[in-house]
């Protein structure tokens, strides 16, 4: 006999809200006028000036978030507080600037009062609203309507779905502008010099590799017993075997040592390194992003690479250790 597990009242409520949220998002996608957004894109790409975003209350918070995302992704954008703008911050707004005004109803008195002052600055005004007929749109040059089926609030009043679609609109605008402007990874990286994003986009192998006297070098003609001091003291878990002018020949790792001991026993100490090493090992150049290097080292889950010689123009210049990449915070 199979017993049916009854859902709690809270689970039933949450399931119902999730279905409602799905329907609301589907409604937005089904009814959003992409032609109006295309017109906005055309305008922004043609007028390469700072984009200002403003709004009141929850819409203002969303406008501020979108402005920050746009700025981080290659579009000059600033949030403009309506009240502060009316008390001096309009000085930031240059002639022919573009201003996005966010308001669900389009009836925010603060934004409507701001429009004449923005027009005096010869700014181009775009209302981003969810109500097609409103006073704000009449005071603007363009209208973007974000369709909202209803709020998740039981009274259909608290901004929930409406702020979600405003945020979604901002993400779509950001992605579209990045693609249209062909923003490169290098350009994106210049705006993110700190934090994990910054490190992944700016840290290169040369920034984290072992280099100089810290590299455990050895020659293939050396016997293992004479190279053990270098192997142990440099604490890299390997010896980088090089030829003339530090050309990479092979690598001798902890794993090679274990396998050699199993095969030769104590006699391994008198074997030459070129008999024990892994010849023609993989290597990497110093200009590669450390994040890409880490992904490459982890690509084969059955045989992950913990150490990579760093070779520039045929010469060993460093040693990259997985441990050091992880320690860097990438």
**What pLDDT, on the 0 to 100 scale, is given for residue 31?**
96
Distance CA 181, CA 197 (A): 21
Q: Are residues 71 and 29 in the same domain?
A: yes
Residue 83 lies in a domain: yes
- CB count within 10 Å of CB 27 equals 16
Q: What is the three-class DSSP state of 230? A: helix
Bridge-based pairing state of the strands 248-253 and 238-242: antiparallel
- Check residue 293 and give left, alpha or beta (phi > 0: left; psi -120 to 50: alpha): alpha
Which residues lie closer than 8 Å to 282 by C-beta, 6 or more apart? 305, 308
Q: Are residues 277 and 151 in the same domain?
A: no
Q: What is the CATH number of the domain that holds 211?
A: 3.10.580.10
Confidence at 96, pLDDT banded by 50, 70, 90: confident
* Domain range for 254: 205-327
Q: Are residues 246 and 113 in the same domain?
A: no
Rg (CA), the chain: 30
Tokens of 323: 């441990």
Residue 196 lies in a domain: no
Residue 92 lies in a domain: yes
User: Does 148 score more than 60 pLDDT?
Assistant: yes
Distances (CA, A) of 169 to 115, 132, 175, 193, 324: 22, 16, 10, 27, 40
Residue 46 lies in a domain: yes
Q: Are residues 20 and 95 in the same domain?
A: yes
Q: Are residues 159 and 215 in the same domain?
A: no
CB 322 within 8 A of CB 307: yes
Q: Are residues 156 and 213 in the same domain?
A: no
Q: Are residues 167 and 211 in the same domain?
A: no
**What pLDDT, on the 0 to 100 scale, is given for residue 192?**
67
Tokens of 309: 């010689």
Q: Provide the β-strand partners of residue 250.
A: 241, 279
Give buried/exposed letters for 102-130 (b at 16+ CB in 10 A, else e).
bbbebebebbbebbeebeeeebbbbbbbb
Give kind and range of the element (H or E) at residue 175: helix 161-180
Q: Are residues 137 and 217 in the same domain?
A: no
Residue 194 lies in a domain: no
Residue 189 lies in a domain: no
Q: What is the three-class DSSP state of 69? A: helix
The pLDDT > 70 percentage for the chain reads 97
Residue 270 lies in a domain: yes
**What single-letter DSSP state applies at residue 6?**
P
Q: What is the three-class DSSP state of 309? A: strand
Q: Which of 163-172, 178-187, 204-213, 224-233 has the lowest mean pLDDT?
A: 178-187
**Sign (positive or negative) of CA dihedral 256, 259, 263, 266:** positive
Residue 316 lies in a domain: yes
Q: Are residues 154 and 209 in the same domain?
A: no
User: Does 330 score more than 80 pLDDT?
Assistant: no
Tokens of 293: 């290097």
* Across 25-35, average pLDDT: 96
Distances (CA, A) of 255 to 117, 267, 307: 73, 17, 11
Q: What is the pLDDT of residues 286-301, one digit of tens each?
A: 999 998 999 989 888 7
Last residue of a domain, one of 148, 183, 218: 183
**What pLDDT, on the 0 to 100 scale, is given for residue 93?**
92
- Average pLDDT over the chain, rounded to an integer: 92
* Across 259-281, average pLDDT: 94
Last residue of a domain, one of 127, 152, 183: 183
Domain count, the chain: 2
Q: Are residues 16 and 127 in the same domain?
A: yes
* Across 48-74, average pLDDT: 94
* Predicted TM-score (pTM) of this structure: 0.68
Nearest of 137, 168, 157 to residue 66 by alpha carbon: 168
**What pLDDT, on the 0 to 100 scale, is given for residue 5?**
66
Tokens of 199: 């490190």
Q: Are residues 219 and 153 in the same domain?
A: no
Q: Are residues 174 and 233 in the same domain?
A: no
């Amino acid at each position: 006999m199979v017993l049916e597990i009854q859902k709690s009242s809270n689970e039933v409520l949450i399931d119902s809200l999730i279905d409602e949220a799905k329907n609301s998002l589907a409604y937005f996608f089904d009814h959003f006028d992409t032609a109006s957004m295309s017109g906005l894109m055309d305008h922004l790409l043609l007028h390469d000036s700072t984009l200002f975003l403003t709004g009141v209350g929850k819409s203002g918070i969303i406008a501020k978030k979108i402005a920050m995302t746009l700025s981080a992704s290659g579009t000059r954008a600033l949030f403009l507080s309506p009240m502060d703008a009316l008390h001096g911050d309009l000085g930031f707004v240059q002639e022919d600037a573009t201003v996005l005004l966010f308001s669900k109803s389009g009836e925010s008195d603060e934004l409507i009062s701001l429009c004449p002052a923005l027009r005096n600055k010869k700014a181009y005004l775009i209302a981003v609203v969810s109500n097609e007929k409103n006073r704000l749109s009449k005071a603007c040059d363009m209208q973007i309507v974000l369709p909202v089926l209803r709020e998740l609030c039981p009274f259909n009043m608290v901004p929930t779905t409406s702020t979600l679609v405003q945020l979604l609109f901002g993400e779509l605008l950001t992605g579209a502008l990045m693609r249209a402007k062909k923003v490169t990874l290098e350009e994106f990286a210049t705006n993110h010099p700190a934090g994990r994003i910054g490190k992944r986009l700016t840290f290169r192998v040369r920034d984290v590799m072992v280099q100089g006297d810290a590299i455990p070098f050895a020659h293939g003609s050396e016997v293992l017993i004479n190279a053990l001091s270098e192997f142990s003291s440099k604490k890299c878990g390997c010896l980088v075997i090089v030829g003339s002018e530090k050309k990479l020949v092979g690598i001798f790792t902890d794993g090679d040592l274990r396998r050699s001991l199993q095969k030769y026993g104590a006699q391994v100490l008198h074997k030459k390194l070129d008999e024990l090493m892994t010849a023609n090992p993989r290597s990497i150049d110093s200009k590669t992003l450390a994040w890409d290097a880490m992904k490459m080292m982890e690509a084969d889950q059955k045989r992950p690479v913990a150490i990579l010689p760093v070779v520039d123009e045929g010469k060993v210049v460093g040693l990259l250790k997985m441990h050091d990449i992880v320690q860097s915070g990438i």
